Amino acid sequence: MKTRGTSVVPLIMGIIGAVIQLPGAVCAGACAAGMTAFAEKSQSAVNDSASTFMYLGLLAVLLGFVGGLLGKGKPTLSGILLLAATVLSGLTLVTFNFFSLIPVVLFLIGGIFAFVQKKEEVQV
């Protein structure tokens, strides 16, 4: 016997969050670069902060996307991945990248639904 989820909400929230977070990740990198440059740091520091925040955003895209796809098959793992994506996209908000605000909300809703959705037992 295997436990499966029944809701499509994690799938929808995960995928929509990921596709909107994709430009959000690029935005996070640009915003981080802008902020570091404004603080009159060296060029290497500007590049470092830009790539760090961009990779954080891209990792959130990957986790959110995979989490969404696993919404029915592996509800617990899906919830963990979507909540991790929420935290990572939330971290990029410190660069004033408000583009990521929508994915944060979507990933959070998806993550909560992945845990609280009605489950069913299926024969493998």
Q: In the complex, which residues of this chain contact another protein (CB under 8 A)? A: 2, 4, 8, 11-12, 15-16, 18-20, 22-23, 66, 69-70, 72-74, 122-124
Contacts within 8 Å (CB) and 24+ apart, 88-91? 88/56, 88/57, 88/59, 88/60, 88/63, 89/17, 89/21, 89/24, 89/57, 89/60, 89/64, 91/53, 91/56
Comparison of 2 and 41: residue with beta carbon closer to another protein: 2
Contact at 8 Å (CB) between 92 and 100?
A: yes
Q: Which residues contact 2 (CB under 8 A, 6 or more apart)?
A: 121, 122, 123, 124
CB of residue 78 to another protein, shortest distance in Å: 10
CB of residue 56 to another protein, shortest distance in Å: 19
Comparison of 26 and 42: residue with beta carbon closer to another protein: 26
CB of residue 16 to another protein, shortest distance in Å: 5
Contact at 8 Å (CB) between 28 and 54?
A: yes
CB of residue 57 to another protein, shortest distance in Å: 13
Comparison of 12 and 87: residue with beta carbon closer to another protein: 12
Comparison of 26 and 93: residue with beta carbon closer to another protein: 26
